[in-house]
């Protein structure tokens, strides 16, 4: 009877040992399979922000003003700025606007020309805001028949 009990307990301890080994084997196998499919263990880490998110910072100061200048376009920060940005920089660069100096009549004529030939939309109430911004901030300058030479950067010329 004693031998029989001893035998039973031996069998059950071998059984427990084998079960533990089986479980350990199964866990190891699963771990190996997981490592093959995800060698960087990225599942357990915080998701890395994708590169696209970096540009969100750019979006934040998309309409940044620095020293009175709207950085993205170069326009002067004054009444009507964003109306000008939103209506006048879709097709062409702000540079084309800034380098042109016109009075109210000629700006309006230019807007009509853009509406007739360049697919510019009806500006409605914004037209007065835009024209006022332009003639106030970029008025024509008198140049006469020939200007003096300006902004000369002097340098020594050795022959």
Question: Is residue 137 a contact residue for another protein (CB under 8 A)?
Answer: no
Query: Is the distance from CB of 101 to CB of 138 less than 8 angstroms?
Result: yes
Q: Residue 18: CA atoms inside 13 Å, Cβ hemisphere, count?
A: 6
Candidate list 39, 51, 124, 125; residue touching another protein; CB under 8 A: 51
Question: Is residue 154 a contact residue for another protein (CB under 8 A)?
Answer: yes
Question: Is residue 119 a contact residue for another protein (CB under 8 A)?
Answer: yes
Question: Is residue 152 a contact residue for another protein (CB under 8 A)?
Answer: yes
Which is nearest to 106 in space by CA: 135, 86, 82, 80?
A: 135
Q: Using CB under 8 A, which residues numbered 71 to 100 contact another protein?
A: 72-73, 89, 91-93, 95-96, 99-100
Give the residue with the Cβ less far from another protein, 37 or 117. Answer: 117
All residues at 6 or more sequence positions from 72 whose CB lies less than 8 Å from its CB, including other chains? 62, 63, 64, 85
Taking residue 115's Cβ as centre, other Cβ atoms within 10 Å add up to 14
Give the residue with the Cβ less far from another protein, 9 or 90. Answer: 90
Which is nearest to 118 in space by CA: 91, 99, 93?
A: 91
Question: Is residue 122 a contact residue for another protein (CB under 8 A)?
Answer: no
Give the residue with the Cβ less far from another protein, 22 or 109. Answer: 109
Would the CA dihedral through 76, 82, 84, 85 be positive or negative?
positive
Question: Is residue 115 a contact residue for another protein (CB under 8 A)?
Answer: no
Candidate list 4, 40, 55, 67; residue touching another protein; CB under 8 A: 55
- Tokens at residue 125, please? 């109430």
Binding site for another protein (CB under 8 A): 51-52, 54-55, 58-59, 62, 72-73, 89, 91-93, 95-96, 99-102, 106, 110, 118-119, 140-147, 149, 152-157, 159
């Amino acid at each position: 009877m004693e031998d029989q009990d001893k035998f039973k307990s031996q069998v059950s301890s071998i059984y427990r040992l084998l079960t533990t080994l089986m479980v350990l084997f199964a866990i190891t196998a699963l771990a190996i399979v997981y490592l093959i499919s995800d060698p960087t263990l990225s599942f357990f880490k915080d998701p890395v922000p994708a590169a696209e998110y970096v540009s969100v910072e750019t979006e934040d100061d998309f309409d940044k003003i620095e020293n009175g200048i709207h950085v993205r376009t170069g326009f002067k920060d004054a009444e009507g700025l964003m109306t000008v940005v939103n209506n006048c920089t879709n097709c062409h660069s702000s540079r084309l606007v800034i380098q042109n100096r016109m009075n109210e009549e000629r700006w309006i004529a230019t807007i009509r020309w853009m509406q007739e030939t360049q697919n510019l939309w009806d500006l409605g109430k914004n037209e007065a805001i835009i024209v006022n911004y332009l003639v106030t901030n970029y008025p024509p300058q008198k140049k006469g028949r020939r200007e003096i030479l300006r902004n000369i950067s002097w340098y020594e010329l050795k022959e």
